[in-house]
Structure 1
Amino acid sequence: MASAASSLTFILLYGVSYGLVLFIISIGLVITMGLMRVMNLAHGAFAAIGGYIAVGVMTNFGIPFPLAVVAAVAGVVALSVVLERLVFVNLYGAPELDQVLMTIGINFIVIGGLTIFFGPNVYPISLPDYLTGNVDLGIRNFEVYRLFVIAMGLIVVVGLWIMFEKTSFGAKLRAAVDNPSMTRVIGINVNRVFIIAFGIGSGLAALGGAIGAGMLPLEPYYPMKYLVLVLVVVALSGFGNMRASLAVAVLVGIVDTAGRFLVPSFGGFIIYIVLVVLMVLRPEGLFTKRAA
C-alpha cells in the first residue's frame, strides 16, 4: 500500500509540474492562435530561444537564475515584437496554409541558428543550489525544482486570469479580434493591442522554455520536438479557451508521466495513442460543449 501511494504521488506531482511547463508554453499559442487567429507554428522556437538565452547567460556570464529568466523573457519579447511587425503582420487574415508554411520555415531557420551557435547536442543546464535539493513529503521525496515550477505555473495562471478578465486590455483584445474595424472606430489602436498580445504570448513561451529547461532538454530541434504536444494542448482546449488549456496541459503531463513510469519500454508512445483517441472522439475540444 505504501509503495502504491508513493508511486501515485510521484505520478501526480511530476505530472502536474510537467503539465504546468506545457501550459506556460502553450498558453502563449492559445493567445496567438486561439484569440488572434494566427497559426503560429514557430511558437516553439520562442520557447527554445528563451531557454537557450537563460542557460547561456547563466553558464557564460554567471548571471543568477532569476535574472537569467528575466533576460530570456525580455529578449524574446523584443525579438517577437520585431518579427510581428516585419513578418506576422502580413499573416493576419492570410490563408492558413500560408501561415503554416511561413512559421514552419521560421522554425527551421531557428533550428539552423541554434545548431551553429550552440552545437547539435543537448545544451546542459546547471540549476542553482537552492533548486537542486529535495523536500520530504512524508510519502516520498520531491524535487525543490519541480515545486518551483508548480509555483511559477500557478502564478502565471492567476496573472493571466487577472489580465484577461479584470483589465481593459483583455476586453480590448477580444474586441479587436471579433471586430477590428469597429474597434478602430471607437478609438482603440488595434495594431498596438496585437503587438502587446503577441509579445505576451512569446514571452510566456520564453518563460516556459527557461524555467522548464530542467525537464524539457534544450536541443536544436526543440522547436519541432515539443510542437506536437503544444498543439494538442491548444486543440483539445478548444481554440482560445485559456481555462481549459490548464486542465488539458496538466492531464497531458500526468498521462505522459504515468506511461513512462508504469511502462518504461513503451511509455513514450502511450501519450500519443491517448491523444489520437481524444482528437478523434472530441475534435471540438475536450472541455467544449458539443453542438446540439
Structure 2
Amino acid sequence: MTAAISILFDGLAYAMLLFIISVGLSVTMGLMGIVNLAHGAFAMAGGYATVTLMNDLGLPFVPALIGAFLVVALVSVPIERLAYAPLYRRPELDQVLVTIGLVFMTIAAITYFYGPSPPSIEVPAFLSGQVDLGLRTVPAYRLFIILLGLALIVALWLGLERTLVGARIRAAVDNRDMAQAVGIHVDRLFVTVFALGSGLAALGGGLAIEIVGVSPTFAIQYLVFFLIVVAVGGLGSLRGAFVAAVVLGILDTAGKYLWPAGGGFFIYAATVAILLLRPAGLFGREQVR
C-alpha cells in the first residue's frame, strides 16, 4: 500500500509537470499545424529565468515563477513573428530544421551564460517540508505541483470552453480556413496562443528545477516526453494532453519504481500501443481524406 501511494503521488506530480509544459505545445501544434521541436527550449528558458530572478534579483520563489512566465511569454512574441510565421506554409522538413536549430542555439546560449552545470534554487519553507495527508506524509513541493496543475486545467478549460477567445481558438484548431472565412483573425490568435503556451512551458521549466533538474540540455533531453504527451493526447486537445500526461506520468513512475533497470520502457511501450490503436491520439480527430 505504501509503495502504491508513493507511485501514485509521485507519478501524479510528474504528470502535472508534463502537462503544464506540454499543453501549450498541444494547442499550438493543433492550431498552427507546425512541427515545433523548440518548445522545450522555452521550458528551459523559464527554468533559467526563475534561477536568475531568485538568485540574482532576490525574488521569492512564487513571484519568480510568475516573472519567468511573463518574461518568456513576452520574448516568444517576436520569435513567433520572425522565426515561426514564415514556416506556417512551409514543408515539415523546413519546420523541423528551423525549430531544432533554435533548440541548439538556445543550448549554446544557456551554456555560455550559465555554464554546463545544473543550477539550484532555494524553495520557500512552506514547500520544503512534508504534509500529512492522513495515510502518510508527502513532500509539500510535489503536492504544490499537483494542486497547481489541477488549478491550471480548470482555468484553461474555462478559458477555452466558456469565453469568446476560447471559441475562436477551438474554431481555428478545427478548421483554420473556415475560421478565417468568418472573420476570425487567426494570425492574432497564433501570437496569443503561442505566447500563452510558451509562458506555461516556462512555468513548468521553473517547477522542474526541484523535480527533474534543469540543465542546458533540458530542451533535448525531455523533448521526446513532451511530444509523446501531445501525440498520445491528440493535437489541440486540452483534455487529451491532461489525460495523456496523467497516464504516462504514472506509468513511467511505476515502471521506474518496480523495474529500475528497465528505464523508460513502459512509457514507450504504452505510446506505441496507444498510437497503433488510435493514430490520432486518445482525443484527436482522424483526418478525413
Q: For residues 190 and 31 of structure 1, what CA distance do their matches in structure 2 show? A: 14
Q: For residues 266 and 49 of structure 1, what CA distance do their matches in structure 2 show? A: 31
Q: Does 1:169 align with 2:165?
A: yes
Provide structure 2 residue ranges, at least 5 long, that are not aligned to the other structure: none
Give 1:250's aligned amino acid.
Answer: V
Q: CA deviation at 1:125?
A: 2.6
Q: CA deviation at 1:281?
A: 3.9
Q: CA deviation at 1:289?
A: 7.9
RMSD (CA atoms): 2.0
Q: For residues 226 and 239 of structure 2, what CA distance do their matches in structure 1 show? A: 15
Q: Does 1:148 align with 2:148?
A: no
Question: Runs of 4 or more off by more than 6 Å in structure 1?
Answer: none
Give 2:261's aligned amino acid.
Answer: S
> Which of 237, 253, 272 is matched with 1:276 structurally?
272
Q: For residues 220 and 278 of structure 2, what CA distance do their matches in structure 1 show? A: 24
Measured against aligned partners, the alpha-carbon deviations of 1:54-92 in whole angstroms (never above 9, x if no partner) come to 122111222111110111011101111010111111111
CA contact (8 A) 1:69 1:207 kept: yes
- Give me the identity figure in percent: 47
CA contact (8 A) 2:235 2:284 kept: no
Q: Does 1:61 align with 2:88?
A: no
Alpha carbons of structure 1 residues 187 and 39: separation in structure 2 relative to 1, 3 Å: same
Corresponding position of 2:281: 285
Q: CA deviation at 1:37?
A: 1.1
Q: CA deviation at 1:184?
A: 4.6
Measured against aligned partners, the alpha-carbon deviations of 1:163-218 in whole angstroms (never above 9, x if no partner) come to 11111101222334455555455543332221101111111111111123211210
SS in 1 for 2:260: coil
CA contact (8 A) 1:261 1:267 kept: no
Q: TM-score when scaled to structure 1?
A: 0.92
Q: For residues 243 and 203 of structure 2, what CA distance do their matches in structure 1 show? A: 19
Q: CA deviation at 1:33?
A: 0.6
SS in 2 for 1:135: strand
SS in 1 for 2:272: helix
Q: For residues 179 and 253 of structure 2, what CA distance do their matches in structure 1 show? A: 45
Corresponding position of 1:211: 207
Q: For residues 149 and 35 of structure 1, what CA distance do their matches in structure 2 show? A: 27
Q: Does 1:116 align with 2:117?
A: no
CA contact (8 A) 2:30 2:173 kept: no
Q: CA deviation at 1:274?
A: 3.1
Give 1:82's aligned amino acid.
Answer: P
CA contact (8 A) 1:80 1:199 kept: yes
Q: For residues 174 and 281 of structure 1, what CA distance do their matches in structure 2 show? A: 25
Give 1:131's aligned amino acid.
Answer: L
Alpha carbons of structure 1 residues 187 and 240: separation in structure 2 relative to 1, 3 Å: closer
> Which of 246, 253, 269 is matched with 1:250 structurally?
246
Q: Does 1:104 align with 2:104?
A: no
In terms of mean alpha carbon deviation, does 185-194 or 24-33 score higher? Answer: 185-194
Q: For residues 125 and 269 of structure 1, what CA distance do their matches in structure 2 show? A: 31
> Which of 20, 26, 35 is matched with 2:22 structurally?
26
Q: For residues 125 and 13 of structure 1, what CA distance do their matches in structure 2 show? A: 23
Q: Does 1:196 align with 2:175?
A: no
CA contact (8 A) 2:54 2:64 kept: yes
CA contact (8 A) 2:237 2:283 kept: no
Q: CA deviation at 1:152?
A: 0.7
> Which of 129, 145, 151 is matched with 1:133 structurally?
129
Q: For residues 184 and 243 of structure 2, what CA distance do their matches in structure 1 show? A: 33
Q: For residues 178 and 144 of structure 1, what CA distance do their matches in structure 2 show? A: 40
Corresponding position of 2:33: 37
Q: For residues 75 and 23 of structure 2, what CA distance do their matches in structure 1 show? A: 19
Q: For residues 19 and 168 of structure 2, what CA distance do their matches in structure 1 show? A: 24
Alpha carbons of structure 1 residues 194 and 127: separation in structure 2 relative to 1, 3 Å: same
> Which of 153, 159, 165 is matched with 1:157 structurally?
153
